[in-house]
Structure 1
Amino acid sequence: MEMLVRSSAEPSPQAEWWKGATIYQIYPRSYADSNGDGIGDLPGITQHLEHIAELGVDAVWISPFYKSPMADFGYDVADFCDVDPIFGTLEDFDALLARAHELGLKVIIDQVYSHASDQHDWFRESRTSRDNDKADWFVWADANPDGSPPTNWQSVFGGPAWTWDARRGQYYLHNFLPQQPDLNVHNPAVQDAILATQKFWLDRGVDGIRLDAVNFMMHDLNMRDNPPVRDASTKKTRPFDFQHHFYNQSHPAIIDFLEELRAQADTYSGRFLVAEVGGERGQEEMKLYTAPPGRLHSAYGFLYLYANALNADLIREATELWPENDETGWPSWTFSNHDAPRAISRWASEENQAAFARMSFLLLNSLRGNIFIYQGEELGLPQAHVPFERLQDPEAITNWPETLGRDGARTPMPWQHDAENAGFSSAEPWLPVDPRHAELAVDLQAADENSTLTIARRILALRRENSTLREGSMRFFGDTPDKLAIFQRGSGNDALLCAFNLSAQKIDWQLPAGWTVIESVNHDSDGDSLAGYAGLIAART
């Protein structure tokens, strides 16, 4: 649609680049394969950075590409400061970083400081005896008198969070897979090693770091059992869901170490630290970990990622969690990522997914905070179908068929609709390409002025140039139906009015006098209603 009016608000010159930024997540295994082995790699990313720059985002976040046995596809790190050969080399990363900077893109990398791989040299040494130099670098504990694990803690991926090691005659803790032993971040030597790792990448020129599973970084030193969840209505698909996780995560001392990480990052110019924080206390901990002035710059959790439905109450709850005051930090939001089924498949029926993809993209860009866009979200990709025999994700295999799993969100990016494997690779990809994705490939959408991709570029341009969308306040209007979200960004002459129909049915609603639509999707402009999955942003006339 033609842009009739724009708010006069321009990007704030004094704002830090990350505040209100739009960040594009790349899952490197699935983005682009440059060498024909069926697995995406760093040179493949570099070759396609123009696509991301043309979107109009501020930064890219690249999921782990470090040396790893790939038990959890890179989140089991065997060397925090080197590239796994399947992804390339450190020189390939340097080339990616240089090209991104040429295109005006910041680069954020993923670091996992709560655990390592059981193939990491630190753990190999730690497990040899109880008195070696790395003996206390991981969480070891004696068995109970009956030989059972030290506590009742359960792993996220199923089963006890403890594995017996005969060489030490002790159990080691792993909140995820047994191949991902937990680092003992209480140990000052481990903290020094983590700080050295962060410094390695900051010295190399990265612009930011996403800290994975931050609230798992420290455990209860008294080894207390977690209490059970007694709410019978809570859905439980894994042993992990049967407990309140008071003692295997969320230790108060995590905050002190996060302040050390921030202090080190602040010795560099313009660096950005963002945490992933999940779990039953995730919203509370996001605020704790980002409280001004000396903690992390931002954090994001799973409020939207794990929500079964999108409604006005959910958006209102997210907004009210982050009041604008001197005590509250800055939020980040995402609707989809590599750990959750794609939003349009969670929140919309198949026949409405195209319309929903556009509305949800406009909604995400209207929120106060940083926003993360997961690769393919700009194309409106639904959750891919991956047959059981092609599943790769250990969590998906363990919980099949009770959950959609993560593999369906990790399938290859479709670049060319008529090319082999949709242009991702000349070889059979590590996960299959869903035929529906090929029909939504970049080449087709780039040539269509009405495509989801074209609309996404337009929406991102509006957010990029408008400080009200990037940094302005956010408040909801009065009582509205559950499927109608209406809120205002900013105030005064620069205010923007945002209205979204979160349902497939038309809702009666009229734009108030004194406002003019500057951007809309699925909107019929008849003046007295919002069509199904319509969304709009209006500026003062």
Structure 2
Amino acid sequence: MSNLTAQLHWWQGAVIYQIYPRSFQDTSNNGVGDLKGIINRLDYIKELGVDAVWISPFFKSPMKDFGYDISDYRDIDPLFGSLADFDELIKQAHQRDIKIVIDQVLSHTSDQHPWFLESREDKNNAKADWYVWADANDDGSPPNNWLSIFGGCAWQWEPRRCQYYLHNFLTQQPDLNFHNEEVRNAVLDNVEFWLQRGVDGFRLDAINFCYHDKALRDNPAKPKHLRQGRGFSEDNPYAFQYHYYNNTQPENLAFMQAIRSLMDKYPGAVTLGEISSEDSLATMSEYTSGGNKLHMGYSFELLTKDYSPSYIRTTVETLESQMTEGWPCWAFSNHDVERVASRWSKDGVVNTEQVKMLHALLATLRGSVCMYQGEELGLGEAEISFEQLQDPYGITFWPNFKGRDGCRTPLPWSNNSEFGGFSNATPWLPVVDAHKSVAIDKQQADSNSPLVHCQQFLAWRKQIDTLLYGDITFIQSDDHILAFERSFEGKTVSCYFNLGSESQPLALSGTVIKENHYANATLNGFGYVIIEH
């Protein structure tokens, strides 16, 4: 190990596997996954070759947004288990050298949180200023034009106080007032509770939404040709505005520093911020700058429909030009968007060779990797009927936007069991036949499966410091091939990916160290090749 490599942190170049606990493994036979289910499948996670797992929220919650509406930040919802189960999960994961990263939802709480229940009672209680409250306009209308991501006005009338409260997401998710120092301190205390229990880091949900504009200025309108979804439906009115004032406020930078000061007390602990702003790449750079804010940031920029080499190159190059100090993290899928195997496929039809190529592409970009459960299998988006929908977002915008349930269905462990080996009871979302046909047990027995490819590629990648830590420079190529170099400590590898289904001529010099469908100076459809110089 070189001196430079020894100075790097565990999370630099790490592969972080996102677990959506409701849909991972059910051990209580209620149709919902739980913490014991994760414990029971740690050997699978270890064999996959990832470095850490990020677990979506499992805290006490009314589950209006399936855990992203928290009513108690310091306890486990009985649906998922207990604090003792969580402690055992930490113990068992660490015994396998797997880090545990948990979601923290800091910008808002559930409307059933004791803080909000007190705050809403009147304007004089101890928590009166803990949420974003505002008087109505003279005509009774909301204080400004801010919109909720989940549709409609971002203000809800509360008759007890005769005021509106802000909710950037669901009505049941009131926004905390981070201009209040007591709020900031209480939030940080909740974060430290989990650090003291041994977690290795946090994925910070919607972290740029903590502060709002104190003057409550209206957001300006966005021209129609510039309206596009970044993790939300394009016909959602939310896309009709520039969101200059309801998130990403300058005061938030000082709060990022406060989070980092806390994390620095726990060596090795890491923060990964989810960022969705008007210029997410610039915000990622800003929030990870100076070595005193977030460790990593990721955005929705590669969670879109655009799959072209030019778009991917432009996105990565733009971030690289801006993020001169921080560390990037890339994702192709998560629990909020259509699965990448469908989203970037032709006509929604999953192609297993394309899936393998995407495994390799995601794992060779500079930075760390977030891989969503089922991505290793090449799961496509599940077809869910309206009657089966659980997601309030999908119910509101159906049929133009079907919501997020299609990427949240349970993981298929077994090909032959009724519910795919996920549960012995009817699952909260269906295990579709298309997923059972590519179940984990079936793929484990097939040396040519996406799962085996993913395992083998990640194991190989761990041995290549250039891919883990190296700089990235893009290579000029044709319209179908994405190409770049990774360089580290005097070594360079070149990576070529055919994003299309047609073969492309590609004459290369150097030593081939990894390839799929490359031979005779031809890179076949959805093939890749990595060259050492």
TM range (shorter): over 0.9
Judging changes above 3 Å, is the alpha-carbon distance between structure 1 residues 151 and 481 closer, same or farther for their aligned structure 2 residues? same
Q: 1:50-65 counterparts in 2 under 5 A?
A: 50-65=43-58
Contact 1:57 1:464 (C-alpha < 8 Å) held by counterparts: no
Shift of 1:351: 4.6
Shift of 1:463: 1.8
2:81 — aligned with what? 88
Shift of 1:529: 1.5
1:408 — aligned with what? 406
Equivalent-residue separation in structure 1 for 2:350 and 2:372 (angstroms): 20
Judging changes above 3 Å, is the alpha-carbon distance between structure 1 residues 131 and 433 closer, same or farther for their aligned structure 2 residues? same
Q: Does 2:475 align with 1:517?
A: no
Contact 1:10 1:465 (C-alpha < 8 Å) held by counterparts: no
Judging changes above 3 Å, is the alpha-carbon distance between structure 1 residues 67 and 288 closer, same or farther for their aligned structure 2 residues? same
Shift of 1:327: 4.2
Partner amino acid, structure 1, of 2:433: P
2:354 counterpart SS class: helix
Q: 1:417-436 counterparts in 2 under 5 A?
A: 417-436=415-434
Shift of 1:52: 0.7
Equivalent-residue separation in structure 2 for 1:335 and 1:9 (angstroms): 31
Contact 2:46 2:96 (C-alpha < 8 Å) held by counterparts: yes
Shift of 1:293: 1.7
2:319 — aligned with what? 322
Gaps of 5+ in 2: 229-233
Shift of 1:497: 1.1
Percentage of matched positions with identical amino acids: 48
> TM-score under structure 1 normalisation?
0.95
2:485 counterpart SS class: strand
Shift of 1:404: 4.3
1:277 — aligned with what? 275
Partner amino acid, structure 1, of 2:180: N
Q: Does 2:64 align with 1:67?
A: no
1:383 — aligned with what? 381
Residue 494 (structure 1) aligned to one of 488, 491, 498: 491
Once the two structures are overlaid, the 10-residue window that deviates more, 51-60 or 226-235, is 226-235
Q: 1:362-377 counterparts in 2 under 5 A?
A: 362-377=360-375
2:21 — aligned with what? 28
Once the two structures are overlaid, the 10-residue window that deviates more, 185-194 or 10-19, is 10-19
Residue 480 (structure 2) aligned to one of 478, 483, 508: 483
Equivalent-residue separation in structure 1 for 2:126 and 2:394 (angstroms): 37
2:137 counterpart SS class: coil
Q: 1:196-275 counterparts in 2 under 5 A?
A: 196-232=189-225, 234-235=227-228, 236-275=234-273
> How many residues were matched structurally?
527
Q: 1:346-365 counterparts in 2 under 5 A?
A: 346-349=343-346, 350-351=348-349, 353-365=351-363
Partner amino acid, structure 2, of 1:164: W
1:116 — aligned with what? 109
Equivalent-residue separation in structure 2 for 1:493 and 1:351 (angstroms): 42
Once the two structures are overlaid, the 10-residue window that deviates more, 70-79 or 459-468, is 459-468
1:302 — aligned with what? 300
Contact 1:25 1:372 (C-alpha < 8 Å) held by counterparts: yes
1:421 counterpart SS class: coil
The C-alpha deviation readout for 1:271-309, integer Å capped at 9, x for no partner, is: 10110001322111111110022011000000011x212
Judging changes above 3 Å, is the alpha-carbon distance between structure 1 residues 261 and 325 closer, same or farther for their aligned structure 2 residues? same
Contact 1:154 1:160 (C-alpha < 8 Å) held by counterparts: yes
Equivalent-residue separation in structure 1 for 2:58 and 2:493 (angstroms): 40
Partner amino acid, structure 2, of 1:159: G
Once the two structures are overlaid, the 10-residue window that deviates more, 324-333 or 217-226, is 324-333
Q: Does 2:153 align with 1:160?
A: yes
Contact 2:282 2:319 (C-alpha < 8 Å) held by counterparts: no
Equivalent-residue separation in structure 1 for 2:306 and 2:432 (angstroms): 24
Q: Which runs of 4+ in 1 moved over 4 A?
A: 8-11, 324-327
2:231 — aligned with what? none
Q: Does 2:141 align with 1:148?
A: yes
Once the two structures are overlaid, the 10-residue window that deviates more, 430-439 or 317-326, is 317-326
Judging changes above 3 Å, is the alpha-carbon distance between structure 1 residues 195 and 243 closer, same or farther for their aligned structure 2 residues? same
Partner amino acid, structure 2, of 1:275: G
Contact 1:489 1:497 (C-alpha < 8 Å) held by counterparts: yes
Contact 1:483 1:503 (C-alpha < 8 Å) held by counterparts: yes
Contact 2:248 2:277 (C-alpha < 8 Å) held by counterparts: no
2:529 counterpart SS class: strand
Residue 507 (structure 1) aligned to one of 489, 504, 507: 504
Shift of 1:231: 3.1
Equivalent-residue separation in structure 1 for 2:323 and 2:374 (angstroms): 36
Q: Does 2:339 align with 1:342?
A: yes
Shift of 1:445: 0.8
Shift of 1:321: 2.6
> TM-score under structure 2 normalisation?
0.96
Shift of 1:325: 8.8
Q: 1:286-301 counterparts in 2 under 5 A?
A: 286-301=284-299
Residue 103 (structure 1) aligned to one of 93, 96, 99: 96
Shift of 1:13: 2.5
Contact 1:486 1:499 (C-alpha < 8 Å) held by counterparts: yes
Contact 2:395 2:402 (C-alpha < 8 Å) held by counterparts: no
Contact 2:465 2:488 (C-alpha < 8 Å) held by counterparts: no
Equivalent-residue separation in structure 2 for 1:72 and 1:326 (angstroms): 32
Shift of 1:20: 1.0
1:495 counterpart SS class: strand
Equivalent-residue separation in structure 2 for 1:11 and 1:468 (angstroms): 12
1:464 — aligned with what? 462
Once the two structures are overlaid, the 10-residue window that deviates more, 85-94 or 403-412, is 403-412
Equivalent-residue separation in structure 1 for 2:520 and 2:138 (angstroms): 73
Partner amino acid, structure 2, of 1:166: P
Equivalent-residue separation in structure 2 for 1:367 and 1:411 (angstroms): 28
Contact 2:22 2:33 (C-alpha < 8 Å) held by counterparts: yes
Equivalent-residue separation in structure 1 for 2:323 and 2:312 (angstroms): 22
Equivalent-residue separation in structure 2 for 1:325 and 1:216 (angstroms): 21
Partner amino acid, structure 2, of 1:406: R
Equivalent-residue separation in structure 2 for 1:270 and 1:497 (angstroms): 31
Judging changes above 3 Å, is the alpha-carbon distance between structure 1 residues 374 and 117 closer, same or farther for their aligned structure 2 residues? same
Judging changes above 3 Å, is the alpha-carbon distance between structure 1 residues 395 and 297 closer, same or farther for their aligned structure 2 residues? same
Shift of 1:317: 1.8
Q: Which has the higher contact order (CA 8 A, sep 6+)?
A: 1
Judging changes above 3 Å, is the alpha-carbon distance between structure 1 residues 390 and 217 closer, same or farther for their aligned structure 2 residues? same
Partner amino acid, structure 1, of 2:214: L
